[in-house]
Amino acid sequence: MQSLHIIDGVVDEQVDLNAEYPIVEIFHSVQGEGFHSGIPHVFIRFGGCNLRCTWCDTDFDQYEKMKASEIVTEVLQYDCKRIIFTGGEPMLQDLWPLHRLFKQRGFNLSVESNGTIEIPEGLLDWICISPKDQVYPNSKVRQRTGNELKVVYVGQDLSLYDELKIGFDHRFLQPCYVDTASIQENGVMFQETEQVVKENSGWRLSLQTHKWMGIL
């Protein structure tokens, strides 16, 4: 394989640099939800998804093709060594080229996935699964282990996750935030979710603080 240097002098394989991905956006922000809430990350948002959740805030059908070399170049402009692969559904992509490019530069790699695609061992440092079987009962959650289970609460029975939650270190319940709903309407769901967390030990409350604050 041919190798070459890019930007910071690190030697990379040409095949990895040429890998193409559908990218909705790349941005530097603070993680607003879940275990790493409040910690700055670079978010790489991929286009495409195998589900169509009504509350999704991403137009994942609108994206541009970017080479891995271009992605690395853009990420390196930020003073941040933590990356979150998100979407859409990032596990629709072969992330190994990006894994190799970023790991040899000392990055910590996390993913936010719906869990319908099994994640290869060793690919990521942190696995956050947010299952959508509350709206897609026929969708099978294949990734049944990880660091963080983050369930969007829309009124479902939490017994749905009795087996799944065993495989995760941290379990979060997050009220469904609807962009088009009023503050009062979203507040009602927050109150309901808070009550459910109080009544079910082993779950922690997660809030999408970035949305409440009006930031990315």
- Rounded Cα gap, residues 17 and 22, in angstroms: 15
Task: Enumerate the active-site residues.
Answer: 43, 49, 53, 56-58, 112, 210
Q: Is the separation of the CB atoms in 140 and 160 below 8 Å?
A: no
Structure tokens at 107: 């990055």
Q: Is the separation of the CB atoms in 174 and 151 below 8 Å?
A: yes
Q: Please give the angle made by the CA atoms of 155, 119 and 108, to the nearest 5 degrees.
A: 95
Task: Identify which of 212, 144, 205 has the alpha carbon closest to the alpha carbon of residue 173.
Answer: 205
Q: Dihedrals φ, ψ of 125, to 5°?
A: -85, -25
- Rounded Cα gap, residues 80 and 39, in angstroms: 10
Structure tokens at 19: 């890998």
